[in-house]
């Protein structure tokens, strides 16, 4: 009798352990992301009458392309951060004559113009004088083309041949 009461109490207390185990300190839970990552910046770049290639470049491949509705692309994104409640976002794009005509879902396009700052940096690299390789020296002996020589830059008076300046 005592064993059956103990087993019964154990089975009744077991569901309470799941909340206890989920909230233990130091236990790492994963963020789970599935589907196409869609954000407001991507949706703001979409414009009416964009062709499918332009939309594909901005949004990426759609999660669902219905074989019966070729003019409908579905983007579905879900995220479950660290064992919390799952958040799902959906966006459906509709095309007419291969051009973007409308969209539906959890995102709305912004009326503000899109401005992106360039993250590219331009660096001027100075030209280097490289020594010839052994192969270039050997093939240079047998070629009929005259050798190109690199000359140092001369001062402007030397280039023009002006000999009136003191030497």
Among the residue ranges 2-11, 34-43, 104-113, 151-160, the one predicted with the least confidence is 151-160
Predicted local confidence at residue 12, as pLDDT: 65
- pLDDT class of 101 with cuts at 50, 70, 90: very high
Among the residue ranges 19-28, 135-144, 148-157, the one predicted with the least confidence is 148-157
Q: Based on the structure, what is the number of domains in the chain?
A: 1
Higher pLDDT, 113 or 63: 63
The maximal CA–CA distance of the chain, rounded, in angstroms, is 124
- Could you tell me if residue 47 is inside a domain? yes
Cβ–Cβ under 8 Å, residues 105 and 59: no
pTM above 0.85, yes or no: no
Q: Give the model confidence (pLDDT) of 22-71 as tens digits.
A: 666 777 778 888 888 888 888 988 988 999 999 999 999 988 778 888 89
Which has the closest alpha carbon to 130: 145, 148, 144? Answer: 148
Whether 152 shows a pLDDT value over 50: the answer reads no
- Could you tell me if residue 121 is inside a domain? no
- Could you tell me if residue 85 is inside a domain? yes
Whether 96 shows a pLDDT value over 60: the answer reads yes
Q: What percent of the chain has pLDDT over 70?
A: 73
- Could you tell me if residue 58 is inside a domain? yes
- Could you tell me if residue 113 is inside a domain? no
- Could you tell me if residue 32 is inside a domain? yes
Phi, psi of 158 (to 5 degrees): -75, -35
Place of tokens 């290639």: 53
């Amino acid at each position: 009798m005592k064993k059956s009461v103990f087993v019964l109490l154990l089975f009744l207390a077991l569901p309470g352990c799941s909340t206890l185990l989920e909230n233990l300190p130091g236990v790492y839970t994963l963020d789970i992301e599935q589907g196409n990552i869609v954000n407001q910046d991507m949706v703001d770049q979409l414009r009416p009458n964009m062709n499918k290639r332009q939309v594909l470049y901005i949004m990426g491949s759609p999660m669902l392309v219905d074989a019966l509705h070729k003019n409908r692309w579905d983007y579905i994104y879900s995220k479950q951060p660290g064992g919390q409640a799952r958040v799902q976002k959906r966006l459906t794009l509709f095309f007419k004559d291969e051009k973007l005509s409308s969209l539906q879902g959890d995102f709305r396009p912004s009326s503000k113009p899109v401005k992106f700052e360039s993250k590219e940096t331009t660096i001027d690299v100075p030209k280097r004088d490289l020594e010839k390789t052994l192969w270039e020296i050997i093939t240079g002996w047998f070629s009929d083309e005259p050798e190109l020589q690199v000359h140092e830059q001369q001062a402007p008076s030397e280039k023009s041949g002006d000999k009136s300046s003191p030497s």
